[in-house]
A and B are shown apart, each in its own frame.
Chain A
Amino acid sequence: METEKIIETIHMISDENLDVRTITMGISLLDCIDSDSTRACDRIYNKIMTKAKNLVKVGEQIEAEYGIPIINKRISVTPISIIAAASADQNYLKYAQTLDRAAKELGVNFIGGFSALVQKGYQTGDLKLIRSLPQVLDETDLVCASVNVGSTRSGINMDAVAEMGKIIKDASERSFMTNTKMVVFCNAVEDNPFMAGAFHGVGERDTVINVGVSGPGVVKHALENVRGESMDVVAETIKQTAFKVTRMGQLVGTIAAERLGVPFGIVDLSLAPTPAVGDSVAQILEEIGLESVGTHGTTAALALLNDAVKKGGIMACSHVGGLSGAFIPVSEDAGMIAAVNAGTLNIEKLEAMTAVCSVGLDMIAIPGDTPADTISAMIADEAAIGMINNKTTAVRILPIQNKKVGETVEFGGLLGYAPIMGVNKASSTRMIARGGLIPAPIHSFKN
Chain B
Amino acid sequence: MKAILTTIGKDQVGIIAGVSQFLAEKKINILDVSQTIMDGYFTMMMMVEINDEKADFTALSEELGGIGKKLGVEIKIRREEIYHAMHQL
List residues of chain A with CB under 8 Å of any chain B CB: 1-3, 5-10, 14, 60-61, 64-68, 244, 247-248, 250-251
- Expressed in whole angstroms, the minimum distance between the Cβ of A403 and any Cβ of chain B is 43
Shortest distance in angstroms between A6's beta carbon and chain B's nearest beta carbon? 6
Q: Give chain B residues whose Cβ lies under 8 Å from the Cβ of A8.
A: 87
Q: Which residues does chain B contribute within 8 Å of A2, judged by CB atoms?
A: 87
Q: A3-B34, A3-B38, A6-B45 are in contact. Are A67 and B78 (CB under 8 A)?
A: yes
18 extra interface residue pairs, beta carbon distance < 8 Å, beyond A9-B87, A64-B61, A66-B78: A1-B4, A1-B45, A1-B47, A1-B80, A3-B36, A3-B38, A5-B83, A5-B86, A5-B87, A6-B4, A6-B45, A6-B83, A10-B8, A64-B57, A65-B57, A67-B76, A244-B86, A248-B86
- A-side binding surface: helix, strand, loop or mixed? helix
Q: Looking at the complex, which one of B34, B82, B84 makes contact with A67 (CB distance below 8 Å)?
A: B82
Those of B44-89 within 8 Å (CB) of chain A: 45, 47, 57-58, 61, 74, 76-87
Closest 5 CB pairs of A and B: A67-B78, A251-B85, A64-B58, A64-B57, A5-B87
Asked whether, in the complex, the Cβ of A250 is within 8 Å of the Cβ of B57, the reply is: no
* Interface residues in chain B, defined as those with a beta carbon under 8 Å from any beta carbon in chain A: 3-4, 6, 8, 34, 36, 38, 43, 45, 47, 57-58, 61, 74, 76-87
- B62 to A, closest residue via Cβ: A64
Q: Which residues of A contact B83 (CB under 8 A)?
A: 1, 5-6, 9
A65 touches B79 (CB 8 A): yes
How far does the Cβ of B64 sit from chain A's closest Cβ, in whole Å? 11
Q: Across the interface, do A67 and B86 meet the contact criterion of CB distance under 8 Å?
A: no
Contact B85 A248 (CB under 8 A): yes
Query: Is B85's CB under 8 angstroms from A250's CB?
Result: yes
Chain A residues with CB under 8 A of B38 = 3, 7
Q: Which residues of B contact A248 (CB under 8 A)?
A: 82, 85-86
Chain B positions within 8 Å of A10 at CB level = 6, 8, 76
Chain A residues closer than 8 Å to B80, beta-carbon distance: 1
When C-beta atoms are compared, the residue in chain A nearest to B78 turns out to be A67
Other-chain contact of B86, A9, A14, A65 (Cβ < 8 Å) = A9
Of A1, A7, A61, A65, the most chain B CB neighbours within 10 A belong to: A65
Between A and B, 26 residue pairs with Cβ closer than 8 Å are A1-B80, A1-B83, A2-B87, A3-B34, A3-B38, A3-B43, A6-B6, A6-B45, A7-B43, A8-B87, A9-B83, A10-B6, A60-B58, A64-B57, A65-B3, A65-B79, A66-B78, A66-B81, A67-B61, A67-B76, A67-B82, A247-B86, A248-B85, A250-B85, A251-B82, A251-B85
